[in-house]
Amino acid sequence: MRLLLVEDDRMIGESLVRGLGDDGYHVDWVRDGPAAAAALADPQAAFALVLLDWGLPRQDGLSVLKDLRARHSLVPVLMITARDAVSDRIEGLDAGADDYLVKPFALAELKARIRTLLRRQEARATAEIVHGTLVVDPVRHEVQLRGERVGLTPREFSLLRVLLSRPGVIHSRAQLEQALYGWNEAIESNVIEVIIHTVRRKLGAAIIENVRGVGWRIGQAP
Ligand code: CA
């Protein structure tokens, strides 16, 4: 899953990129308001969620958020801020933030809130994603097929997670590359096919359906 982090504090930014990367998220990090606005306006960049600092150089986070919602974007936004007055929190939530975390915060709490927002976005009531006999646990990063644990690499897990997040929807190669990799990563032309191949080898060929010339979607429930 690809997240956009908007944070001007270098230490916090570096620790979040590392900490969230450990959980298999790909984090694109920008450091000011205009860069955030440009990233969010990029139709190719399919962010699953935005972590948005309030106090930013040149354009503050609240203004970035208002612009985003004015364009009718539904991407979940978690605001991160040092401002903990009740009136600030209300202003952030009223402007379209989905959640609010006051600095300093524990990484574990941020991760839990991210999982909650993603779950809500995907209209799931529980943490586990169940697709027939396939059970994906985004908390533990575990996959079980017919009760047996199957080991997936972080990229394989992300690909499965992206396809399962929108059953029935066909994802093009470009969309999957965007979801799994950041702007600065060099991608080999057949990398998505390679990942799909290994996921199918581990979970059965039918788990991912190829729609010729268009892309891929999650297959019938095993
Ligand atoms: Ca800041």
For 129-147, how does the pLDDT look when each residue is reduced to its tens digit (9 = 90+)? 899 999 998 878 899 999 9
Q: What percent of the chain has pLDDT over 70?
A: 100
Residue 8 has pLDDT above 90, yes or no: yes
Give per-residue pLDDT as tens, 161-203.
999 988 889 999 988 998 888 777 778 889 999 999 999 999 9
Q: Determine the pLDDT at residue 109.
A: 96
**Residue found by looking up tokens 């000011």 in the block:** 32
Same domain, 18 and 57: yes
How many Å lie between the centroid of ligand 1 and the Cα of residue 191?
A: 36
Ligand 1 midpoint to CA 213 (Å) = 44
DSSP assignment string, 29-54: EE-SHHHHHHHHH-TT---SEEEEES
Q: What percent of the chain has pLDDT over 90?
A: 64
Angle at 144 between CA 203 and CA 205, to 5 degrees: 10
pLDDT of residue 176: 92
- Do 134 and 151 share a structural domain? yes
End position of a domain, from candidates 124, 152, 180: 124
- 41 lies in the same domain as 13: yes
User: How remote is the CA of residue 79 from the centroid of ligand 1, in Å?
Assistant: 11
**pLDDT score, position 116:** 92
Structure confidence at residue 80 as a pLDDT band (50, 70, 90): very high
Cα 130–Cα 118–Cα 195 angle in degrees, nearest 5: 65
Distance 92 CA to ligand 1 centre (A): 15
CA of 113 to the centre of ligand 1 (A): 20
Confidence of residue 121 (pLDDT cuts 50, 70, 90): confident
Query: What number is the average pLDDT over the span 64-80?
Result: 92
Residues 43 and 148 in one domain: no
Residue 86 is predicted with a pLDDT of: 84
User: What spacing in Å lies between the alpha carbon of 54 and ligand 1's midpoint?
Assistant: 6
Could you say which of 73, 92, 124 is where a domain stops?
124
Cα of 56 from ligand 1 centre, angstroms:
5
Name the average pLDDT for the chain. 91
Give the Å distance between the CA of 6 and the centre of ligand 1. 9
Domain final residue, candidates 89, 124, 159: 124
Q: Using the mean position of ligand 1's atoms as its centre, give its distance from the Cα of residue 103 in Å.
A: 10
Same domain, 56 and 141: no
Q: Give me ligand 1 centre to Cα 5, in Å.
A: 12
Say yes or no: 154 and 74 in one domain.
no
State the first-to-last Cα distance of the chain, in angstroms, to the nearest integer.
Answer: 23
Same domain, 13 and 118: yes
Count how many domains the chain has: 2
The answer to whether the beta carbons of residues 182 and 21 sit under 8 Å apart is no
Q: Does 107 share its domain with 48?
A: yes
Report yes or no: 45 and 35 within 8 Å, Cβ to Cβ.
Answer: no
Q: How far is the CA of 32 from the centre of ligand 1 (A)?
A: 9
How far is the centre of ligand 1, averaged over its atoms, from the C-alpha of 55 (Å)? 4
Q: Which of 27-36, 74-83, 200-209 has the lowest mean pLDDT?
A: 74-83
Length of the chain: 222
How deeply is 200 buried, as exposed, middle or buried, from its count of CB atoms within 10 A (0-12, 13-18, 19+)?
A: middle
Integer Cα distance of 129 and 170 in angstroms: 19
Residues sharing a CB contact under 8 Å with residue 150, sequence separation 6 or more, in sequence order: 143, 144, 202, 203
Least confident residue range of 76-90, 142-156, 208-222? 76-90
Same domain for 118 and 139, yes or no, is no
Write down the pTM of the prediction: 0.74
Q: What is the whole-number distance in angstroms between the Cα of residue 184 and the centre of ligand 1? A: 23
Q: If pLDDT is split at 50, 70 and 90, which confidence band does 148 have?
A: very high
Question: Ligand 1 centroid vs 204 CA: distance in angstroms?
Answer: 46
Amino acid identity of residue 175, one-letter, is Q
DSSP reduced 3-state for 200: helix
Å from CA of 31 to ligand 1 middle: 9
pLDDT (0 to 100) of residue 214? 93
Asked whether the CA dihedral 89, 95, 99, 101 is positive or negative, the reply is negative
